[in-house]
Chains A and B, each alone.
Chain A
């Protein structure tokens, strides 16, 4: 009797478990910034020149996607995995934990760091990064990139740079400077200083050179400068406009605006052959060209329709297609590296805002809440955007994340800051 019951119930269990489990659909989320704890780097010896963990916290926070746990709330500072007591971090509400330890290896710093999931106690990765003593900031940015990518699925852009122009007026004279700094504003370096305006910096795809417009010869001209050795070369010398240079992603050409033929038109300049080709042929203003990621088309501003709007020019056949239809002023286009997000200056109700238009589904979103916005530039991972605006009568740079909508102002510097250009790497 018992044996038969045993068999029956065994079959019952088997068939019951063989039947499909309950399946529940989860269709919504909350998308709050991820709470992450960056434990202070552990190391022996003297104070380090930089607070690595703080730099990582600031980077992640600025991206708008992370909410770092405050160091003063931390209950322990583990340096290695075996020192981690996960409950200390669960209590703080942390979802992820980054720990690291630094050793001096000859003239180099070597940081071994790990990313862990707090709730599941799982190790996501352990990696090692090495750099000279001067490169501690670079190491911090590199670790930020790795952590960012593992959690968001997007490549980090914390190791990139930004070029921008500053102007400072004193005694009726204005001093203009072209600068390059880390994306967080640190390590400002002077590229060029002039008594005449500098405009429109644009990076080479290898991030080693800049092209820009300088008025040093008495009229606007496009110059090329190598950042490492400061070699400069004047590339244009026409009357009229010589402006808005944009370096193609394949590195071979510049797109720019010249009005030498009577009115502003879009040209390309072959850097090797040093030849100009004209691409537009309309009596209206055609300016501000910017390359698509595949180097096959340009987006540009034109008022051929009566007021400034954004158009796309296919280089192969010269076809021009209008892209913007909402509002009476859309200018200064930038195509994000994802190929589908068009960033621009958009005027609505007499205010100039930075807006994005999705070229696939047509969505238009106004991103900034400041009102004299200009010169948007997109990060190479299409996640963030820097632009220039005016606050309290001073030119400042602001940043906004393309998805999270988080906004913040960059630390203010002397004089007016404008025309940011994000390096491609």
Chain B
């Protein structure tokens, strides 16, 4: 009889304590954590201006057809004049490559660079020293025209000589 008493008491106590456990679980409180955000700042960098001596009337922007990296004949004539000027008056120049907005942004950065490289290679072919040239791509980040149509897109597929 005593054994039965002990066992039943044990089971009762055990089951009661289990009930107690589930209650504590339901009562656990979720506390929100804080998230602070501060604004960053940029050191002012001045980017050097162009010292290219070619006549200002000679085009400094060259356009490309969609999905093409070929230079037009107008571009070639203009670039020959620039090459001449750079051979006689070496100046550091930057070729800024751009793409139209369609498609992915970083892939467009690579397309812009491709176009810049095409112009660079042409100038080097024309005798300009490669150390004078830096190609920087802006991808679709600096659109010349903001529309979403063929005309705007054509205006944005370009390389600027600075």
Contact = CB atoms under 8 A, between A and B. Distances in A.
B152 to A, nearest CB: 10
A192 B40 contact: yes
A352 B142 contact: no
Interface stretch (A2-10, A122-130, A311-319): A122-130
Given A135-B32, A142-B32, A240-B113, A216 B38 contact: no
Interface centre among B40, B106, B110, B146 (most CB of A within 10 A): B106
Interface centre among B27, B137, B138, B141 (most CB of A within 10 A): B141
B38 A374 contact: no
Given A127-B26, A135-B34, A243 B107 contact: no
B73 interface: no
A192 B105 contact: no
B155 interface: no
Nearest to B29: A128
Interface string B119-160: 000000000000000111111011000111000000000000
B47 to A, nearest CB: 4
Contacts of A264: 110, 113
A231 B38 CA distance: 9
B37 A227 contact: yes
Contacts of B138: 197, 215
Contacts of A340: none
A257 B141 CA distance: 17
B105 A199 contact: yes
Interface string B99-114: 0011111110111011
A288 B106 contact: yes
A240 B29 CA distance: 52
Interface in B79-110: 101-107, 109-110
B114 A285 contact: yes
Given A191-B39, A301-B104, A128 B27 contact: yes
A185 B74 CA distance: 48
Nearest to B147: A393
B32 A214 contact: no
Main secondary structure of the interface of B (DSSP, over half): loop
B24 interface: no
Contact of B137 (A217, A220, A393): A220
A216 B134 CA distance: 16
A422 B41 CA distance: 23
A229 B38 contact: yes
B4 interface: no
Given A217-B45, A229-B38, A345 B30 contact: no
A43 B86 CA distance: 77
B109 A215 contact: no
Interface string A212-238: 001111111000010111111000000
B31 interface: yes
Interface in A177-206: 180, 189-194, 197, 199-200
A332 B106 contact: yes
A372 interface: yes
A202 B113 CA distance: 22
A194 B37 contact: no
A110 interface: yes
Given A126-B26, A127-B30, A352-B103, A194 B38 contact: no
Contacts of B29: 110, 128-130
A215 B41 CA distance: 14
A304 B110 CA distance: 13
Contacts of A288: 104, 106-107
Interface in A334-357: 345, 347, 352
Contact of A200 (B30, B102, B105): B105
27 contacts: A126-B26, A129-B32, A131-B32, A135-B32, A139-B32, A189-B37, A192-B39, A197-B138, A199-B105, A199-B141, A200-B105, A218-B47, A219-B134, A228-B35, A230-B41, A241-B110, A243-B106, A285-B110, A288-B106, A308-B104, A308-B107, A329-B103, A332-B104, A345-B103, A374-B103, A393-B148, A418-B105
Given A131-B32, A225-B40, A241-B113, 19 more contacts: A128-B29, A129-B30, A174-B142, A191-B39, A199-B105, A216-B42, A216-B45, A220-B137, A228-B36, A228-B37, A232-B40, A241-B110, A287-B107, A288-B107, A301-B107, A331-B107, A347-B103, A372-B101, A374-B104
Interface of B: 26-32, 34-43, 45, 47, 101-107, 109-111, 113-114, 134-139, 141-142, 146-148
- A-B pairs, top 5 by smallest CB distance, nearest first, are A131-B32, A332-B104, A230-B38, A197-B141, A230-B40
